[in-house]
Chain A
């Protein structure tokens, strides 16, 4: 399943995505965050040490978390700020900590958290605005390590067709 999380209020992007997805008859779910309440991560560590796998913040992020653990791909659509995805887009990634456990292991030459679930979710970014492209590519590759997966790439909203070609 492909999970698409739209953190912008522009549903023209998801509208176009929907048309492309229907054409390709892909199995996808789209979550529009405009009507949802999603906080930032407060770094409490409860999801690792007090209520393992469960976030202490009871808001709509739980909807997304429950879908991520069954998704082959996660696409986050985000506005940009300061050359990067904006805080709403970043919050979607910061709050994935419950999918990791407190346990640590070496993956290659670097330490990583042991995943809580078997599912591996590749990640992709679709942005609206200006970003430092090289940095966004580097960051997305790095962020994928937290899913023990790989980056699907970074695409501007004008490159939706290219992004869809990476969806399967």
Chain B
């Protein structure tokens, strides 16, 4: 199988969490001889080639971050330039987000099924998982700890050609956190997380408070 992979993140490849996820995913994907080509929506110079590849491939995988409950505006802009295929092309998606609970991604996932239909492609399912916000803030082993599970999902996709298996569904993790986890995480957000954000901000050269109001 040969797969066209589109990284639908508007963030440049170097800092793209979706790209790091795809790095691990494709490692698993290629183990059994599956090949792929990857393009970046964030680089408009690739759009013509990407469009051509879309028409020439019958296995398409779009990986994307959730942007305001649906797909990012830039990815939408690219997709608007495509004509429906209606030739048996199969399309699958990897939907990832910062928010951790599965429920946060369901509205986006629902759209992807509609999108497959609008593009005249057969919907092969969506691999849904959140809690990926911090990928860009880590390197090496720490980053691998977050992204490595996607390798197994790459193997799974190369075997099944879809994301419909129980393992893929389980990959999402909890739909919502149980009350005691919410209590603990909520407390952490008020304390250690605030300190961590302040530290990242400082490293980025931020001189204002995180909750600064520039326009009030």
Contact = CB atoms under 8 A, between A and B. Distances in A.
A110 B104 contact: yes
A33 interface: no
B80 A139 contact: no
B55 interface: no
Interface residues of B, number: 57
B70 A52 contact: no
Contacts of A160: none
B68 A146 contact: yes
Given A50-B201, A135-B111, A82 B118 contact: yes
B211 A69 contact: no
B143 interface: no
Interface string B161-204: 00000000000000011000010011001100110010011001
A26 interface: no
A148 interface: no
A146 B119 CA distance: 29
A146 to B, nearest CB: 6
A105 B190 CA distance: 8
A42 interface: yes
Interface residues of A, number: 49
B76 interface: yes
A65 interface: yes
A58 B42 CA distance: 18
A48 B196 CA distance: 13
B67 interface: yes
B23 interface: no
B208 A87 contact: no
Given A84-B70, A103-B211, A109 B182 contact: yes
Contacts of A135: 110-111, 114
A24 interface: no
A72 to B, nearest CB: 16
Contacts of A91: 73
B215 A103 contact: no
Interface core residue of B70, B115, B209 (most chain A CB under 10 Å): B70
A51 to B, nearest CB: 7
Contacts of A143: 68-69
Contacts of B114: 82-84, 132, 135
